[in-house]
Amino acid sequence: MQTGDDRSILISTMPAEGRDRRAALAVVGISLVLFACAVPFAAVPLAPMPAFVASYQSALAINDIVTAILLFSQFAVLRSRALLLLASGYLFTAAAAVIHALTFPGLFAPTGLLGAGPQTTVWLYMIWHGGFPLLALGYALLRDTDGGARIRTSTGRAILGSIIAVAVAISVLTWIVTARHDALPTLLSGGRYTPVMIGVVSSVWLLSLAALLTLWLRRPHSVLDVWLMVVLCAWLFDIALSAIVNETRFDLGFYAGRIYGLCAATVVLAVLLIDNVSLQAQMARLLGTLRREAASERDRHTERERLFSVVVESSNDAIITRTLDDTIVTWNPAAERLFGYSATEAIGNRVDFIVPPDRHAEAQEILGRIASGEAIEHRETLRLHKDGHEVHVALSGFPIRSLAGEVVGASMIARDLSESKRAQ
């Protein structure tokens, strides 16, 4: 679940835990029980409901488009070829579902739109249900613990290329099953499946099984891998009920298989949405923690500044801070007493007004050494009082550094030596 390892916050690379596997097994187990209950009745004829097909295809297309968008967004972070392939698979199923609905007889036109023939929708179903497991198989082969091989070009260009490739593939396949309809083998005759249909659908079913087994063998699994295996299981149940154990359109298997298909389309979408909500919750908690830490740090900084101010203000030594261009920034009360100038008079001016003319070179030499990072300890010298008399002082100077470590100023401490000089 990119930090040094922020990829692990995404379900496509987050290692699956025991609870993820248990939840996935529970879903597959329930699906298997329902499948076993439906199989004996799969051939029971039911009333034709074209509106069911329209609703199912619409929901399926929307689910798959949203899932593709979410997977593309994770690809934009990880740049994983495997994830790009899987996102393309969901985009392909969305497009195939739309074309299948448009050509389905009796839905928008008696024989379907786009010049559809009697075999168009059944062939589209096979293409649709064979295309997704084929791309899922590619995902399983390309994936790795960190998402697999990376795309080196722009992610936007890769996503656009993927969308164009899916659009071209769907367009070509649609043209084949409509304009070249008569050249295709017959899969549906008199409303019932032909022997050729059994061979084709069995191949499609085995392709889904191959994708499932390959993904299962490619360990360790991410959270996305675990739920994609659930999708492929539901895909197997969908194909079996809709095109193997049933006998014709609008029987119980026909409807039940499509319900499985819709559930399969919802699984990964639900997991991705839950993951997004979880990430938003984590981000909200992190921002709250950062705000509290920032407020606490401000309070600590304010307290340190207050304590420092108290120390500086109460010191018996003159404490002066200067910029590297020699401008005075702070001037404590001891400096006022030692040199006779108030803080208002001193701050903002160059320090030259307290340096005797013959000591200017010395003052610049001290500032230069501090600017280079050197500390000055107890250097006896002379400075000027406001009334003009010279004051004997011991100077200490230390560099003031920025957060980046650069010297940005100098802190000077001047101790009055007048009494000790008079006593000598």
pLDDT at 136: 94
In contact, 201 and 185? CB cutoff 8 Å: no
Q: Which of 270, 10, 324 is nearest to 143 (CA)?
A: 10
Structure tokens at 139: 């995902």
- The domain spanning residue 212 has which CATH number? 1.20.1070
Would 298 be classed as within a structural domain?
Answer: no
pLDDT at 148: 55
Would 95 be classed as within a structural domain?
Answer: yes
Both 24 and 81 in one domain: the answer is yes
The total number of structural domains in the chain stands at: 2
Domain residues for the domain of 343 are: 315-423
Q: HEC string of 182-205? A: HHCCCCEECCEECHHHHHHHHHHH
Q: Which of 119, 94, 56, 122 is nearest to 255 (CA)?
A: 56
Both 66 and 178 in one domain: the answer is yes
Each residue's pLDDT tens digit, 339-355: 999 999 999 999 889 99
Both 71 and 183 in one domain: the answer is yes
Both 40 and 178 in one domain: the answer is yes
pLDDT at 35: 85
User: Distance between CA 94 and CA 102 in Å, rounded?
Assistant: 13
pLDDT at 69: 92
pLDDT at 1: 36
The residue length of the chain stands at: 424
Q: What share of the chain is helix, strand, coil (3-state, %, to 5)?
A: 65, 15, 25
Both 57 and 176 in one domain: the answer is yes
- The domain spanning residue 356 has which CATH number? 3.30.450.20
pLDDT at 3: 41
pLDDT at 2: 41
Residues of the chain with pLDDT under 50: 1-7
CA distance readout (Å), 244 to 47, 170, 219: 20, 25, 31
Both 139 and 253 in one domain: the answer is yes
